[in-house]
Amino acid sequence: MENLLDISFIIESFPTILSRLPITIGIAVGSMVISLFIGLATALIKIYKVPVLSVITSIYVSFIRGTPLLVQIYLVFYGIPKVIYYLQIEYGVLLSADVNSISPEMYALMAFSINLGAYLSETIRSAIESVDRGQFEAAKAIGMSPVQMMTKIIFPQALTVAIPNLGNMFISTIKDTSLVFIIGVVDVMGQAKILGSRGLAFFEVYIAVSIVYWILCIVVERLLVRLEKRARRYERGIA
């Protein structure tokens, strides 16, 4: 009688799956860092209602939030090469750019950064707007420039509010990286699919990869809890 579960295959698959963990973490961390800049810029544009740009950012946020991440990955993967070819042929620019040299990991990083940037913009905007208006007025009263006011007064307080949402989004991003195999990125999930097809043991490898994601998210969650507690202590110290 065939065994329901091949425990030995699950155990043996862990080292091979874990060998791709740096790619998963790299895409998640890299896109999070880039998207923080995108989200901050988008949030400030919407807060200060910059002409034209505020309309563009609103369309950008609405489009990203209204379409699946899977579709956005495909749009980046197939769209960017077409744009580069078009610019090369029609305008003679980017002649040295070779789309074939762009790795699938880079496309995945771009897609996740664009996606996260839209969601983070709303998180950052709400965090900034949660700061008491008196803080803005006090900073202006003592002669602080807008940059000084934001970096020294507003951002530290807004960060404390934003950390839980930022942490949740980072954990979601780690799990969403399982989609990148569709464009040829062999990450943790991709390696699991390859192993499953070789040994015809898809159930076992999916159990193994789910355990990897589970443990990784638990570790990240614990680190974020410590970071939030540290930020709260800093906030009480300021008070």
Instruction: Decide if pLDDT at 233 tops 80.
Output: no
Q: Calculate mean pLDDT across residues 190-204.
A: 88
- In a domain, residue 202? The reply is yes
What pLDDT score was predicted for residue 93?
63
- In a domain, residue 2? The reply is no
Q: Calculate mean pLDDT across residues 224-235.
A: 76
What pLDDT score was predicted for residue 1?
36
What pLDDT score was predicted for residue 63?
96
What pLDDT score was predicted for residue 142?
82
Distance between CA atoms of residues 164 and 225, nearest Å: 8
What pLDDT score was predicted for residue 179?
95
- Domain range for residue 185? 7-238
Q: Given pLDDT bands bounded at 50, 70 and 90, which one contains residue 151? A: confident
- What is the chain's mean pLDDT, rounded? 87
Cβ-Cβ contacts under 8 Å for 145 (sequence gap 6 or more)? none
Q: What percent of the chain has pLDDT over 70?
A: 93
Distance between CA atoms of residues 154 and 131, nearest Å: 7
pTM over 0.85: yes
For residue 97, what is the domain's CATH number? 1.10.3720.10
Distance between CA atoms of residues 184 and 162, nearest Å: 33
Distance between CA atoms of residues 60 and 44, nearest Å: 14
Residue 162: Cβ within 10 Å count: 23
Instruction: Decide if pLDDT at 129 tops 90.
Output: no
Instruction: Decide if pLDDT at 68 tops 90.
Output: yes
- In a domain, residue 42? The reply is yes
Instruction: For residue 11, give both structure tokens.
Output: 């155990």
Q: Given pLDDT bands bounded at 50, 70 and 90, which one contains residue 97? A: low
Q: Given pLDDT bands bounded at 50, 70 and 90, which one contains residue 96? A: low
Instruction: Decide if pLDDT at 64 tops 90.
Output: yes
- In a domain, residue 57? The reply is yes
62-71, 86-95, 199-208: which has the minimum mean pLDDT? 86-95
- In a domain, residue 1? The reply is no
Question: Into how many domains does the chain fold?
Answer: 1
Q: Given pLDDT bands bounded at 50, 70 and 90, which one contains residue 89? A: confident
Instruction: Decide if pLDDT at 98 tops 80.
Output: no
Cβ-Cβ contacts under 8 Å for 29 (sequence gap 6 or more)? none
